[in-house]
Amino acid sequence: MEDVKVEDIAQDVKKITDEELKSVQEKVNSINRVQLQVGGLEVQKASALEAIKVSQMDLQAIQQELEEKYGKVTVNLQTGAITEIPEEDEADTKD
């Protein structure tokens, strides 16, 4: 059996050109950068969704306070004017 040297194996390995390797590396790096950006955007999205949830809960608390003070009303968000919400007759709701 013939002795195989590491140098002989290294010479037999086929390789892509340096230009092809550079092109592949650039595309892989580009994909990795975009994936990192997407991850950052997902974190921002999660933070924004949490902020919305907190604001909605705060709004509900304010609405409850206003209802206790003024009763069931709608509020004009431009002027602050309130309009009573007419209560439905019990006969209307039993149809």
Mean pLDDT value across residues 1-26: 82
How many separate domains does the chain show? 1
pLDDT computed for residue 73 by the predictor: 94
- The answer to whether the CB of 75 falls within 8 A of the CB of 66 is yes
| Whether pLDDT at 81 is above 60 | yes
3-state secondary structure of 23: helix
Domain assignment present for 10: no
Domain assignment present for 45: yes
Domain assignment present for 76: yes
What's the pLDDT tens digit per position in 26-79?
999 999 999 999 999 999 999 999 999 999 999 999 999 999 999 999 999 999
Domain span including residue 80? 16-93
Q: How confident is the model at residue 88 (pLDDT cuts 50, 70, 90)?
A: confident
Angular region, 60: left φ>0, alpha ψ -120 to 50, beta rest: alpha
pLDDT computed for residue 13 by the predictor: 81
